[in-house]
Structure 1
Amino acid sequence: MLTLSFVTGTEPGKWFTRFRERTHHGGLSAIDTDDALGELLAGTAQLALTRLPDARISEQLHVVELYRETPGVAFPKDYFLAAADGAVKPEELEGEIINWQIPDSGEVDAAAVRDALQIVAANVGVVIAPRPLLKVLSRKLVEHRDYAGATDTHVALVWKKDGDSDAIQDFVGIARGRTENSSRQVATKKSAREKTLAKQARRESAGGGKGKVSKKNPPRKPRKRR
């Protein structure tokens, strides 16, 4: 079984389903956490879906970037920013209390964002973080919009080079869009009955079924009488 940790703000459910349906690695165990990379480094998970940049990334790790996240800003419901047309600009936040924002390093602390949003829900200040994270953590009293004053973050799959496996490679392939019929993907094992039925279906489609004439054994022509 493959154990994967995924950081708060990501939604890998569709990949989980495809992995379970298409492979025979014993299923998948998932850990929803604010620190997916920490779970990997601690040995709790074999694969991490995490947010980058992260200073803990080293040469001992494989990193496959999947997509980028747009920055966003969260604010109290019925705030003047709710009427914003398009992304909120930095000048629109002048004088506002910023409870948390993406630092210059670009690293995101999901737990800190969670705590800061509680202050926003109390009708105080704003929070600047990846918008997918704000979408997951925001409560009914908080709204969010795109923000034009911060850099994008990245979501990637990370695993230890010395812990590579077919299960990890299959999950990475699925996350990157590999189809079920790809020759690089390990196929699900079939039972003896399934193999027999598949073989019969191939024979019938090739013309060997009932009511069809086999090309290999065509009917003999009748001999002419002398």
Structure 2
Amino acid sequence: MTEQAGGPSFRLAIAPGVTPAKWVGVWRTRLADVPLELVQVDVLDRGAVVTDRTVDAGLLRLPLGREGLSVIPLYTEIPVVVVPKDHVVAAFDEVSSEELADEVFLHPLDDLLEWETLPGTPAQERPATTAAAIELVAAGVGVVVVPQSVARLHHRKDLTYRLVSDGPQSRIGFVWPEDETTELVEEFIGIVRGRTANSSRGRAAQQDASKASGDQQPKPRTKAQEKAAAARRETDRKAAAARKAGTRGGKLTGKRLGKRGNR
């Protein structure tokens, strides 16, 4: 949890291509008073911003290669090959790695796909970034394989992409410092796991419970109710006094009769 002048906020790192819109929407509905700040990070960051507490947590590509972080794997992405629109591959719905054997394969330095064997013929130099590799594809230098969301991120009118059926998948996970599972981290875990607001163990559930408890408090009585209650108390008081007087009278009579009898 990050403190701001107006109160706590939650800073969330986002890897390229990750689209957290649905989860962000749920957060802003449940915790409208806690700002959620999205921080775009380079794919090669690999959790550094979480480790050094620049952010509270992140939606990052795995693996991270760092210790001291807790990770919940969320989903996997299919790999696609990015090619010019007039490329032969564009005529198919999907291809295999073997069918890319004759292609110049661009392998950017920020690629986290775990290949056992790279397809095609490696380019003479590795592009520094995926964005640079996409530019080279557009120039007709070669092809590149990336997660589908990354291909969409770098969409161009002159390029297209096709599924690589046997390519390595990319995993996305929710990451936070393992020794700092805060209330807000728990809240986000509940959101990504699909918990309802009532079943979540985070802040929203506590607020709902507190509100429900407050709703059960007795309502203040009206003046008419107070007046009626006062009248009932007065009636009860008089009845109690009458009973007490009757009891006292009975005791006195008994004593007097007793004395007369002795005479």
Q: How far 1:24 moved relative to its partner?
A: 5.8
SS of residue matched to 1:163: coil
Q: How far 1:2 moved relative to its partner?
A: 0.7
* Residue identity (%): 32
Using a 3 Å threshold, how does the CA distance of structure 1 residues 156 and 25 change in structure 2: closer, same or farther?
farther
Q: How far 1:105 moved relative to its partner?
A: 7.5
Contact 2:190 2:200 in 1 (8 A): no
Residue of structure 1 aligned with 2:99, choices 75, 81, 92: 92
Contact 2:115 2:168 in 1 (8 A): no
How many residues get paired?
193
In structure 2, C-alpha distance between the alignment counterparts of 1:16 and 1:111, rounded to whole Å? 31
**Unaligned 5+ runs, structure 1:** 204-226
Pairs within 5 Å for 1:22-37: 22-23=30-31, 26-35=34-43, 37=47
Pairs within 5 Å for 1:32-51: 32-35=40-43, 37-51=47-61
Pairs within 5 Å for 1:70-81: 70-81=78-89
Q: How far 1:186 moved relative to its partner?
A: 2.6
Pairs within 5 Å for 1:52-67: 52-56=62-66, 58=67, 60-67=68-75
Contact 2:187 2:200 in 1 (8 A): no
Q: How far 1:34 moved relative to its partner?
A: 2.0
- The one-letter code matched in structure 2 to 1:186 is R
Using a 3 Å threshold, how does the CA distance of structure 1 residues 40 and 105 change in structure 2: closer, same or farther?
farther
User: 1:215 aligns to what?
Assistant: none
- The one-letter code matched in structure 1 to 2:62 is L
Indicate whether 1:118 and 2:135 are aligned: yes
Contact 2:186 2:201 in 1 (8 A): no
In structure 2, C-alpha distance between the alignment counterparts of 1:132 and 1:113, rounded to whole Å? 12
Output the aligned Cα RMSD: 3.0
Q: How far 1:66 moved relative to its partner?
A: 0.5
Q: How far 1:152 moved relative to its partner?
A: 1.4
User: 1:220 aligns to what?
Assistant: none
User: Taking structure 2 as the reference length, what is the TM-score of the superposition?
Assistant: 0.65
User: 2:20 aligns to what?
Assistant: 12
Residue of structure 1 aligned with 2:171, choices 150, 154, 160: 154
Structure with more helix by fraction: 2
Q: How far 1:111 moved relative to its partner?
A: 6.6
- Specify which structure has the bigger relative contact order, considering alpha-carbon pairs within 8 angstroms and separated by 6 or more residues: 1
Q: How far 1:124 moved relative to its partner?
A: 2.3
Contact 1:117 1:138 in 2 (8 A): no
User: Taking structure 1 as the reference length, what is the TM-score of the superposition?
Assistant: 0.74
User: 2:115 aligns to what?
Assistant: 104
